[in-house]
Amino acid sequence: GAVVSQHPSRVICKSGTSVKIECRSLDFQATTMFWYRQFPKQSLMLMATSNEGSKATYEQGVEKDKFLINHASLTLSTLTVTSAHPEDSSFYICSAETRTSGKGGEQYFGPGTRLTVT
């Protein structure tokens, strides 16, 4: 149980184009999904928190107009990198949270999407 998928796993795009990454919880409903970014040999940096049916909450320093997040259903969140530039090249990982009443949520991570902007 608690499987999260991401699509695509790898994408190469040209500078100035937009890229959409999908994150799905396959066997559970996730009211909250998180988007992270990870540079080589670095830890995960939280970009935004996505709640189903409401606007995403972005971390300080993350441009909301550049990284568009849509949480359309309890099993799907998307991250769109708009007008991508080479500095946006990174490993993007989503996670989905299971929640048991009164407990801190356990987060299950997708396999990640490697974005390369040329």
Partner 1 sequence: QKEVEQDPGPLSVPEGAIVSLNCTYSNSAFQYFMWYRQYSRKGPELLMYTYSSGNKEDGRFTAQVDKSSKYISLFIRDSQPSDSATYLCASSGSGGSNYKLTFGKGTLLTVNP
Contact residues toward partner 1 (CB under 8 A) are 2, 4, 6, 32, 34, 42-44, 46, 49, 51, 57, 91, 93, 95, 97, 103-112, 114
Cα 43 to Cα 26: distance, rounded to the nearest angstrom:
25
74: CB partners within 8 A, 6+ apart: 25, 29, 30, 31, 52
- In whole angstroms, the minimum distance from the beta carbon of 114 to partner 1 comes to 7
Between 31 and 70, CB nearer to partner 1: 31
32: CB partners within 8 A, 6+ apart: 49, 50, 51, 52, 96, 97, 99, 105
Nearest to 111 by CA among 59, 27, 38, 46: 38
- In whole angstroms, the minimum distance from the beta carbon of 7 to partner 1 comes to 13
Between 3 and 72, CB nearer to partner 1: 3
Between 84 and 93, CB nearer to partner 1: 93
Q: 96 - beta bridge partners?
A: 33, 108
- In whole angstroms, the minimum distance from the beta carbon of 16 to partner 1 comes to 26
Between 42 and 118, CB nearer to partner 1: 42
- In whole angstroms, the minimum distance from the beta carbon of 74 to partner 1 comes to 15
